[in-house]
Amino acid sequence: MYSKEQASQIKQAFWTSFGQYMALETSAEGLKINWINYKTGVKHLHFKMQADQKMAKISIEMSSPDPDMQALLFEQFSSFQKILEAELNEAWDWELHGADEYGKTISRIYTVLPGVNIFRKEDWPAMISFLKPRIIALDAFWTDAQHGFEAFK
């Protein structure tokens, strides 16, 4: 078992490694980008990557405190579902009005790599190989689709 400080250091080391691995990748528009803190430009809409002792996860999260606004964003993503899945090359799970790890109501579109552990360094390559192509694909999707979300800005 790790102390809180040790666990924090290991997680920080993973995300630093991921950031360094992604540093040479430019956005779909050829720009330098902060992949870990991806900015969509839409309030309460985030592309998130998570890693813990059970899995790695990447998601599109709609976290507006207004459930109706979440539903509208979710519906807008639904209209882009075929384009999103074509860019991702896979289907993701869709969850309207679920709960995040803090019990807050969110909606999300996500996929998970189970059975990996951020505290096992030998799992890091698999986790990075899972996250990297998906965040790049999300960026490519967003480059084309973001104009369909102008009303939410």
Q: Which residue has the tokens 């790049």?
A: 136
Please give the pLDDT value at position 41. Answer: 94
User: pTM score, two decimals?
Assistant: 0.94
| Distance from C-alpha of 27 to C-alpha of 103, rounded to nearest angstrom | 33
The token pair at 107 is: 């909606």
Query: Total structural domains in the chain?
Result: 1
Which structural domain, as residue segments, surrounds residue 121? Answer: 4-152
Please give the pLDDT value at position 53. Answer: 95
**Burial label, 49 (beta-carbon count in 10 A; 0-12, 13-18, 19+):** buried
Give the burial string for 117-140 (b: 16+ CB within 10 Å, else e): bbeeeebbeebbebbbebbbbbbe
Across the 153 residues of the chain, what is the mean pLDDT of every consecutive 10-residue run? 91 96 94 93 96 97 96 97 97 96 95 98 98 98 95 88
Please give the pLDDT value at position 2. Answer: 84
The CATH number given to whatever domain includes residue 136 is 3.30.1460
Please give the pLDDT value at position 101. Answer: 87
- SS3 per residue for 62-100: ECCCCHHHHHHHHHHHHHCHHHHHHHHCCCCEEEEEEEC
The secondary element (H helix, E strand) that includes residue 47 is: strand 45-51
| Distance from C-alpha of 141 to C-alpha of 153, rounded to nearest angstrom | 18
| Distance from C-alpha of 141 to C-alpha of 135, rounded to nearest angstrom | 10
